[in-house]
Structure 1
């Protein structure tokens, strides 16, 4: 297994890789060998049962040069997005094709490398994993992947059951979140296809407070997007899982304005924790959110505001959304996804058949 993701900060991609790696190791024990870059801390549940091999290399050198050599006699599994283009026998994960659909989001160097890598992986990988039916269709349309080589292994939602809601320190702002006025949670970055700027503008105009988790950056980043114009927004940066769980459980709604996702894990996290969801009718949202969210038309930010106001003013509507959301999120469990992963690996010839 490609364990480079264990050396990175946790986003939805790393969450996906961590949860599935943990279950794969628990099911198959020392048949699983996790190769990690130099200095990587491996979580106990993985280290206790799988074989861990720490390289003297790190970064791209580890992933693109060292790892293919180390795994040359085995099937290599990459769950964290990037994968080595030189590996001969591998199962790779392509969460989405945003570098093709939304190139304006990325630097020229980044999108050139990722486009080249994805094209090679689409041609050479024995199986390609992705996280939704929508994303599988995108891989077919953009990369010409044969649908028979694509396996949909979605995100789960039940990792949030381990969280202990803990009130975050937001510099005093959190004291105003209990005054009865509606406020929303946004989880995302200022990547252009995440559409966060448009949503915050609409919420600001309506006077609705927001807490934004994940939108980090230096002064230059915030200056570029004009973050100073949002007096109703609090930028919390990265929070712990427990702090995020408290926000999910306390917010009027999660506003998820992304125009393009492979899956959108904050949606099912919110639903499982009883937070109503307002998202856009774009990408995989109808598939992932089911009937447990209010879906608004892209390009109509006033619909987002109206949905938040209705949820705040109508307790029965809120309760119905919460119930539908919990029911929808229950469809997505990591054990069920691990079952699908096992099937994909078996189709690629792992674990090998043994005789006694």
Structure 2
């Protein structure tokens, strides 16, 4: 019997993928060969543990059918997302990470299938799991608000960390030829285009900001980390139309495509500010990344972001395009404000580490084992 089986299918994705990839080395270092990984072998080949090929898409019937066949006899099964096996499995205990309950908080915006799936699976995850991990006090409160308070003692809050890289000792200066120094100032957005990420309001606010700048001022760009195709296709037609049709967007908004971690460090370290306009989050990893690389943070005034950043960010109302535009202008116009946010953020990010997060996860795992 194996000790621990982990569903690693999301390891190559942003967000949850970062969460899995950062914690996995610590868990394997502690439990060794008794850890079995489910996922694609080419994405997990760096680990010397047993890998069981499993590529069923998440949130599918195929996933549910295969779970029972694939999960080996074990003491503990860990789902790093709420898409748990609904049927009985050959594992004695379960632990699940629920990062947020967006699917319940924005229930009215989902399709019929999404509504049914989210309602059933999140409640089943709470019922069937011996322990639930979540990433902020806000998320714990949201889970209890949208499900049942009887799960209160089963849920533990463990904050995410900020990644440490070998290249972190590299300083982004004009003398360092590793970095391509940008020729113009820019704001930075790091995230996806799900409606709650609120990119549309951020871009509309940016347009107003640009329109109000004097003609002789060099216009700062707006860089979006991600593939352009992902922004102009899909269900968010208003956002797609805005990107395709507005001349300011066409001339001043840059889509970076996929970037390496080293390139992302460069983008953070040279940006005027990270613009983080989300209407809903469980945590928000880019916030910590920006603070680490001395990038001022301009963010929504929603509870989870204020829980993480406290006074290390300049806040705006994510529903007010005018307020977002005003705060973009404030941070653009004041070097003193940017420097103040940089100093506060650089102190704040040090309170979060993946090593500390991993130790707390391991304490739970060992207790369950």
Alignment TM-score, normalising by the size of structure 1 = 0.84
Structure 1 residues 113 and 28: CA distance shift in structure 2, 3 A? same
Question: Partner of 2:9: helix, strand, or coil?
Answer: helix
Alignment of 1:136-147 (within 5 A): 136-145=140-149, 146-147=151-152
Count residues with an aligned counterpart. 335
Alignment partners' CA distance in 2, 1:310 and 1:75: 51
Q: How far apart are 1:263 and its partner, in Å?
A: 0.4
Quick one: which of 221, 235, 238 aligns to 2:255?
235
Give the secondary structure class of the aligned counterpart of 2:6: coil
1:158 touches 1:332 (CA, 8 Å); kept in 2?
no
Alignment of 1:176-191 (within 5 A): 177-179=182-184, 182-191=185-194
Distance change (3 Å), C-alpha of 1:67 and 1:237:
same
1:241 deviates by 1.8
1:261 to 277, 281, 303: 281
Counterpart mapping for 1:104-183 below 5 A: 106-145=110-149, 146-159=151-164, 162=167, 177-179=182-184, 182-183=185-186
**Preserved contact between residue 209 and residue 328 of structure 2 (Cα < 8 Å):** no
Bigger mean CA offset, 95-104 vs 328-337: 95-104
TM-superposed CA distance for 1:166, in Å, is 11
Preserved CA contact (<8 Å) 2:8 2:37? no
Other structure's SS at 1:210 match:
strand
Q: After superposition, give the CA deviation of every residue in 1:102-161 in whole Å (9 maximum; x if it has no partner).
A: 135544323432332111111111011111110011111111152210011221113356
| 1:217 and 2:230 are equivalent in the alignment | yes
User: Does the 8 Å CA contact 2:22/2:163 hold for their aligned counterparts?
Assistant: no
- Choose which of 353, 358, 363 in structure 2 pairs with 1:333: 353
Q: d(CA) in 2 for partners of 1:205 and 1:76?
A: 50
SS of equivalent residue, structure 2 residue 84: coil
Taking structure 1 as reference, are residues 310 and 341 closer, same or farther at Cα in structure 2, changes over 3 Å only?
Answer: same
Structure 1: how far apart are the matches of 2:45 and 2:158?
A: 22
Q: How many angstroms apart in 1 are the aligned matches of 2:332 and 2:55? A: 52
Q: 2:44 aligns with which of 42, 45, 54?
A: 42
How far apart in 1 are the matches of 2:302 and 2:283? 11
Could you say which residue in structure 2 is the equivalent of 1:354? none
SS at match of 2:193: coil
Q: Confirm or deny that 1:195 pairs with 2:207.
A: no
> How far off is 1:162 after superposition?
4.8
Contact 1:276 1:322 in 2 (8 A): yes
Q: Following TM superposition, by how much is the alpha carbon of 1:224 offset from its aligned partner in structure 2, in angstroms? A: 4.4
1:205 aligns with 2:233: no
- Point out where structure 2 has 5 or more consecutive residues left out of the alignment: 173-178, 211-219
Instruction: Give the stretch that moved more between structures: 218-227 or 333-342.
Output: 218-227
Q: Which residue number corresponds to residue 171 of structure 1?
A: none
Per-residue deviation, residues 47-101 of structure 1 (Å, max 9, x unmatched): 13xx323236644577534444534442101224422223462101111110111
The match for 2:75 is 74
8 Å CA contact 2:6, 2:35 repeated in 1? no
Q: Which residue of 2 aligns with 1:281?
A: 301
**CA distance in 2: counterparts of 1:21 and 1:275, whole angstroms:** 28
Counterpart among 103, 106, 129 of residue 99 in structure 1 = 103
Q: CA deviation at 1:40?
A: 4.1
Query: Secondary structure of 1:20's match?
Result: helix
Determine helix, strand or coil for the equivalent of 1:75: strand
Contact preservation (8 Å) 1:63, 1:83: no
CA RMSD of aligned residues (A): 2.8
Question: How far apart, in 2, do the equivalents of 1:239 and 1:105 lie?
Answer: 31
Residue equivalent to 2:176: none
1:96–1:262: 8 Å Cα contact kept in structure 2? yes
Report the Cα offset of residue 321 of structure 1: 0.8
Q: Distance in 2 between matches of 1:301 and 1:85?
A: 42
Partner of 2:331: 311
Name the residue aligned to 1:321: 341
Aligned to 1:190, the other structure's residue is in SS state: coil
